[in-house]
Structure 1
Amino acid sequence: MARERNGKFAALLEEARWSRAQAAAAYNRVAEETLQGEVRENSRIGRSHVSMWVAGVQPKGVAPAILSQALSRRLRREITPEEVGFAVPTSPAQGALDWRVDPLIALNDLGSDVDANRRRLLAGGVYSAAALLLPDECWWTSMAERPATESQASKRVGRADVDTVREITQAFSRLDQRRGGGHGRRAVDEYLKFEVLDFLRGRFANDETRRAMFAASAELAYLSGWMAFDNSEHAVALNRFNVAVKLAARSRSAPLSGHILRAMAHQALDLGFRHEALKIAQASVNGDRYTHATPRERALLGVVHARTLAANGQKQAAARALLLAEDDLSNARDGILEPDRTFFFGEASLAHETACTLRDLGDHQKAVKEFRRSVRTRGPAFRRTHAVTLGYLGATQIAQGAVEEACATWSSVLDAMEDGIYSGRARQAVADMRSLLSPFRKRGVPAVGALDARAASYLAHVQ
């Protein structure tokens, strides 16, 4: 009996503007991230697999889940295996995070969660909207309550221990900005699990120290999440953000909770969950999370909120949010003690996020101007973000038809990447570069051929 062509899959490939080879490459990137070297049926595929599945062959093993995840990221909405035309059941809300789990238990389970997330994905789930639902207000109130019973641990924890955790966080945060999230995240997790957990279970000199230690631990857990997000380890990132929010809530630091929610919104937006991203961003600027924050942090929360508004077509609201973020940053001046976690956010970062907002609103000309301002004003300590900005600038330039300008910009991206930046976001900028150059390969533009060959060589060595 002849097989029936999988029209659903073929339509999605056409919508994604993927060739068979490009679809296979995207699949393999997600599989590598998810499986972490584990060999499973269809743990790596070629273009012939894609052709067979379009022809009606039902994929086996991990393929339905991996392919659905790859398509979800490309199309920026959740794609289930059923929507791809695959005869596999989906388990609703299997990716939902359990906000009831105590943060200390979650810290103790670091490492094993990677396997748990992998099992959930391979059972048929993807990074889904269900995983992005925030707890209600009652949860925040109960999480902030001091435990009814004090710890009987012999370890006494003081301000010097809090300072130690903060120093570790600062060191790795600066490394992340220079080299990308692919450097050192596992070391951060080891410190969280074996050192920070002992501090949190210790005896505190007073309640102020207890809250300070929970806040410092939350910032380190957030940093682990941000590094994982930057390196495209999205399930791990979401788990770390979840732990960080719990620790921040227990510390009663509303601005810190807002800071972490802002990162969750950023990740959701990058993965195409724009409606969920907006809800999380709105939560990040709600009440004390915004009003009790310092000017620099308010600007950071506000500009990500602006991006989510733009992604949801709320043009006027996005413009107002951008103006407010600019005003907030202008109020960040000497004499105001800003938290260390905002050290990276200044004029260059504001320009980068503003450019992304304008780009999503369709104003490419102003977006290019802001991306250039970001590139011009960013210091050498922020090389990873610099590479990401250049990648976005090149994509916006080529959208305007400025092909040679885009090639020059993207050449600078490769210069940075080849100099030791390990970042999934920056790698994706190189992959997107090749995709955007594809229509121009046969037009005889010398810069296109040279850059495409260089990008292909780079990706072959890092993937």
Structure 2
Amino acid sequence: MATNEPNAAFERLLRETGWTLRQCAQAVNRIGTERGTPKRYSAPSVHQWLSGSVPRADAQPLILEAFARRLGRPVTYAEVGFPAPESGTEAAPSGTVDGIIGLGRLDMDPSRRSVLGVALFSVALTVPEWPDVVGRMEAAQTGVRTRVGMSDVRTVTAMTEQLSSMDDQFGGRTARPLAAAFLVNTVAPFLRTDGPEDVRKAMMSAASDLCYLTGYMAVDEGLHGLAQRYYLKALELAGASEDHLTYCTTLRGMSVQAVDLGQGPIAMRLADAAAASSPQAGPRMRAFLAGQQAHAAAQVGDRRSALMYLQEAEVAMDKAESREKAFGSYDPAALNYHTSQVRFEMGDALGAVAAMQESDQLRHSVYRRTRVHKRTILAERQMAVGHLEAACQTWGLALDDYPLVHSGRVDERMVGMFRLIRPHTRNHDAQALYQRARTVVRPELVPA
């Protein structure tokens, strides 16, 4: 589709970025690759857009996100001179409960999964601060039920725990549609039902936990923009219920998402915001926050801060473990994972491998999805330091559990495994792994 007039709005934005036509095309291609839909745009493509040609619908969100990342602020379709997207591709409604229903319905319907892919991770996302969300929530809108009670809160909490356990065992692709359906059909009506103030706050806190978990599961499937939208709803609900713990946990989760995508500066800001929002954290929570600060600091090249935060996490973990062993929260396995990440970012590949091995040995057996995912990372790093046979063994352990795990992140690592092993198939261990993987990994991921 083309117009008769040059796109002056696009030209203004391009001039603001300081990019050449080639640099603009490269930025769009990078985001397409990040999303899993690689593009091959070039300078002539950008020239066509400047001349009034409207890019394909699937490319437009990539272009908006490229501009947003470069300029550090959101960019709209109108601002770039593109027509508004069709109904169903816009962001969720602004109201907290309406937003949850909009996200959940989209997530429940397999026929609309392509719409979810439009939502990209954005470094220009506006994250509300605690004073901006505390105590705020739209008025109750009474539905079929007339009152909400603590038994309803316990239902939401128990269901969230069950969904979290399913995610740990089977991955986000299995559990997230169930979480979305529960949010839409049960939790949203509870949030719109009147009740005593303490019960209303407890319900919003429980809903915040569930939104955070659903966002985390969206990250596991690689739907990063969708995850951000769930995370924002979690922040709104945490503020409305004055739940500082979930607010901090959500900010940290957003930092984890950012650092895993290589967005170090935004990861650092989010990790620092989480720590600043939890001034009275106990030792385990402090370790939980400081470990993430250490990883983010290492990724942005701040070696001194990374080591300082890592030491702080280690001291806090020692205090926490001396008081009680906490199953299901930040533990020594998680701390060793952060140690590995810090060492890797600072160029100590052997140290990173050693810490990741320690993490694997300490991890509780119920965390199957995490075990498979982290073992694939360990195998990649063993390959990087020349330990081919050890890497093959580690990938083999990951394959033992793989058929039971439905995770976009794990699938992505398995694709990487084939690419890394293929040049070494003259080695007996590598050949055996390659052949076994071809029979175990999902057929659509196996190379021809």
Which residue pairs with 1:144 in the alignment? 135
Name the SS of the counterpart of 2:320 in structure 1. Answer: coil
Deviations 1:337-369 (A, max 9, x none): 98xxx8242111221222122211211122111
Which residue pairs with 1:162 in the alignment? 153
Deviation, 1:219, is 0.4
Change (3 A) 1:223 1:107: same
Deviation, 1:382, is 0.6
TM-score w.r.t. the length of structure 1 is: 0.74
Aligned equivalents of 2:162 and 2:26: distance in 1? 47
Which residue pairs with 1:450 in the alignment? 432
Give the AA of the match of 1:432.
G
Among 372, 376, 398, the residue aligned to 2:357:
372
- Pick which of 450-459 and 351-360 moved more: 450-459
Deviation, 1:258, is 0.6
Among 387, 410, 414, the residue aligned to 1:430:
414
**Contact 1:298–1:328, Cα closer than 8 Å, also in 2:** yes
Deviations 1:124-175 (A, max 9, x none): x8432223x32245523xx42476x666565222221111111001111111
Q: Give the unaligned 5+ runs of structure 1.
A: 1-5, 17-22, 32-44, 81-88
Aligned equivalents of 1:392 and 1:454: distance in 2? 19
Aligned equivalents of 2:372 and 2:191: distance in 1? 37
Which residue pairs with 1:84 in the alignment? none
Give the share of equivalent positions with the same residue, in percent: 26
Change (3 A) 1:249 1:63: closer
Aligned equivalents of 2:287 and 2:381: distance in 1? 24
Deviation, 1:30, is 2.6
**Contact 2:120–2:225, Cα closer than 8 Å, also in 1:** no
TM-score w.r.t. the length of structure 2 is: 0.77
Name the SS of the counterpart of 1:204 in structure 2. Answer: coil
Deviation, 1:118, is 6.1
Aligned equivalents of 1:457 and 1:60: distance in 2? 40
Aligned equivalents of 2:157 and 2:239: distance in 1? 18
**Contact 1:99–1:135, Cα closer than 8 Å, also in 2:** no
Which residue pairs with 1:129 in the alignment? 123
Deviation, 1:184, is 2.1
Deviation, 1:393, is 1.0
Q: Give the unaligned 5+ runs of structure 2.
A: 1-20, 49-53, 72-79
Change (3 A) 1:258 1:433: same
Change (3 A) 1:7 1:110: closer
User: Does residue 232 of structure 2 align to residue 242 of structure 1?
Assistant: yes
Which residue pairs with 1:36 in the alignment? none
**Contact 1:30–1:66, Cα closer than 8 Å, also in 2:** no
**Contact 1:157–1:199, Cα closer than 8 Å, also in 2:** yes
Which residue pairs with 1:296 in the alignment? 284
Which residue pairs with 2:405 in the alignment? 421
Deviation, 1:256, is 1.2
Deviations 1:78-129 (A, max 9, x none): 699xxxxxxxx687xx9xx98992311212223455699966976xx84322
Which residue pairs with 2:95 in the alignment? 102
Aligned equivalents of 1:137 and 1:158: distance in 2? 27
Aligned pairs, number: 401
Name the SS of the counterpart of 2:166 in structure 1. Answer: helix
**Contact 1:254–1:292, Cα closer than 8 Å, also in 2:** no
Aligned equivalents of 2:438 and 2:22: distance in 1? 31
Change (3 A) 1:7 1:245: closer
Deviation, 1:298, is 2.4
Deviation, 1:332, is 2.4
**Contact 1:169–1:219, Cα closer than 8 Å, also in 2:** yes
- Pick which of 315-324 and 327-336 moved more: 327-336
User: Does residue 153 of structure 2 align to residue 171 of structure 1?
Assistant: no
> What pairs with 1:327-406 in structure 2 (closer than 5 Å)?
327-332=315-320, 343-406=328-391
Give the AA of the match of 2:294.
A
User: Does residue 334 of structure 2 align to residue 323 of structure 1?
Assistant: no
Which residue pairs with 2:296 in the alignment? 308
Which residue pairs with 1:190 in the alignment? 181
Aligned equivalents of 2:27 and 2:120: distance in 1? 17
Give the AA of the match of 1:128.
S
Deviations 1:166-224 (A, max 9, x none): 1001111111111111112111111111211121122223x222221111110011111
